[in-house]
Amino acid sequence: MKKYRIAMIPGDGVGKEVLAEGEKVLRAVQKVQDEFTIAFAEFPWGCDFYQQHGQMMPDDALQVLKEFDALYLGAVGDPSVPDHVSLWGLLLPIRKSFDQYVNLRPIQLLSDDLCPIKDKQTRHVDILFVRENTEGEYSGIGQIFNENTENEQVTQTSVFSRKGTERIIRYAFDRAMERRMKITAVTKSNALNYSMVYWDRLFKEIAAEYPLVETRLVHVDAMAMYMIRNPEQFDVVVASNLFGDILTDLGAAIQGGMGYAAGGNINPENAFPSMFEPIHGSAPDIAGTGQANPIASIWAASMMMAHLGETKAAKTIFQALKKVTADRRYRTPDSGGSATTAEVGSAVVSEIEKQF
């Protein structure tokens, strides 16, 4: 029997609450399917750890995490620690060191009534966003000139390497081949006359390797408009770091809100473990009240099983998730209901048990 080792990093605030539900669901699917086992190890890193030790995670954290098959994260951040400290102290070092260059974000509507757009139903919203996760506009390169003078000037440099650009575009084409054979690349090559012209060129080069896939280049501003007006046009969307960051928040809104948006930070070559998480933060405004929506976190658990090759377990979790999301008794307050985090998690568990 296959055995997976999963590192759990609940982090802070609602991260702890929603991750506990994901763990509950994973234990349930492991039990009923009885074809693999999961060994969970939990690491209490985050802002509490920072208060005691002056750092978000220990010095050897990456060495420790490297040995796992996958990482399952809640959220990090607390009002007592500056956000750039918590982010650069845990999440970003993991993403960068483990070369998790794909940020995979399904924008799928699970129940008609959750969509804020008039007349859009589940069949209209099913987009797979593939966001570049390591370079582009977030390369961290820049300079300030003549600081504190009237000639003050700053630059922020985007970096698009051939290797970095090709690998993300190729990954997106491979996903399109498994789906509806359509891919849209987000660009802005009219204004960004170096970076995005290059992006378009490599997109066209790689498109030639996939003659069966229908391709399209759309400027980022128009993309924002189309995602609201006609989200049904899109299947796989590939975007640079900044454009993907912005458009996936818009995507979260059309799929029902932050409580429904899951993501994977993936190293497709499996040279390092990949990391799965709800994309929301620690939500200090509702932490500790039992009101957090655990759907995104459970969805991330399904993505993690798919990444590990456990397709059946991934589908079982996802089917249960769809059933529960469509049932208005199991709505947390962010979707207008009064169910608790644990009630929603337990409802997903009983749907999983019903499938066996």
The angle at the Cα of 41, spanning 39 to 45, to the nearest 5 degrees, equals 160
In the list 56, 94, 236, 292, the residue contacting ligand NAI (rule: CB under 6 A) is: 292
Check binding of 282 to ligand NAI (CB under 6 A): yes
Longest dimension (CA), the chain: 70
Q: Is 83 a catalytic residue?
A: no
Check binding of 281 to ligand NAI (CB under 6 A): yes
User: Which residues does residue 72 pair with via DSSP β-bridges, in sequence order?
Assistant: 8, 276
Q: Report the amino acid identity of residue 355.
A: Q
Among candidate residues 78, 188, 323, 334, the one labeled active-site is 188
Distance CA 347, CA 329 (A): 10
**What's the DSSP call for residue 340?**
-
Check binding of 239 to ligand NAI (CB under 6 A): no
Check binding of 10 to ligand NAI (CB under 6 A): no
Among candidate residues 221, 285, 312, 354, the one labeled active-site is 221
Q: How far is the CB of 330 from ligand NAI (least distance, A)?
A: 13
Token look-up 């607390």 returns: 78
- What size, in residues, is the chain? 356
Pull the structure tokens for residue 237: 């969307």
72 backbone dihedrals φ, ψ, rounded to 5° = -125, 115
Q: Is 126 a catalytic residue?
A: no
Nearer to Mg ion, 103 or 341 (CB): 103
Q: Per residue in 281-297, is it b (16+ CB within 10 Å) or e — as a string?
A: bbbeebbeeebbbbbbb
From 71-79, 125-133, 136-144, 305-313, span contacting ligand NAI (CB under 6 A): 71-79
Interaction mask 96-115, Mg ion, x per CB under 5 A: --------------------
Q: Is 60 a catalytic residue?
A: no
Residues 130, 238 contacting (CB under 8 angstroms)? yes
Considering CB distances under 5 to 8 angstroms, the limit depending on partner class, which of Mg ion, ligand NAI, none binds residue 70? Answer: none
Pull the structure tokens for residue 194: 């170096």
Q: Coil, strand or helix: which one is 233?
A: helix
Q: Is 245 a catalytic residue?
A: yes
Q: Is 226 a catalytic residue?
A: no
From 77-85, 212-220, 239-247, 311-319, span contacting Mg ion (CB under 5 A): 239-247
From 59-67, 216-224, 233-241, 286-294, span contacting ligand NAI (CB under 6 A): 286-294
**What's the DSSP call for residue 180?**
T
Residues 246, 137 contacting (CB under 8 angstroms)? no
From 69-77, 123-131, 144-152, 175-183, span contacting ligand NAI (CB under 6 A): 69-77
In the list 137, 245, 310, 343, the residue contacting Mg ion (rule: CB under 5 A) is: 245
Check binding of 283 to ligand NAI (CB under 6 A): yes
Q: How far is the CB of 275 from ligand NAI (least distance, A)?
A: 10
Considering CB distances under 5 to 8 angstroms, the limit depending on partner class, which of Mg ion, ligand NAI, none binds residue 292? Answer: ligand NAI
HSE-up (13 A, CA, CB side) for residue 61: 23
Distance CA 192, CA 188 (A): 6
Nearer to Mg ion, 252 or 352 (CB): 252
Kind of pairing, strands 70-75 and 182-187? Answer: unpaired
Residues lying near Mg ion in the complex (CB under 5 A) are found at 245
Residues lying near ligand NAI in the complex (CB under 6 A) are found at 14, 18, 75-77, 83, 91, 258-259, 277, 280-286, 292-293, 332, 334
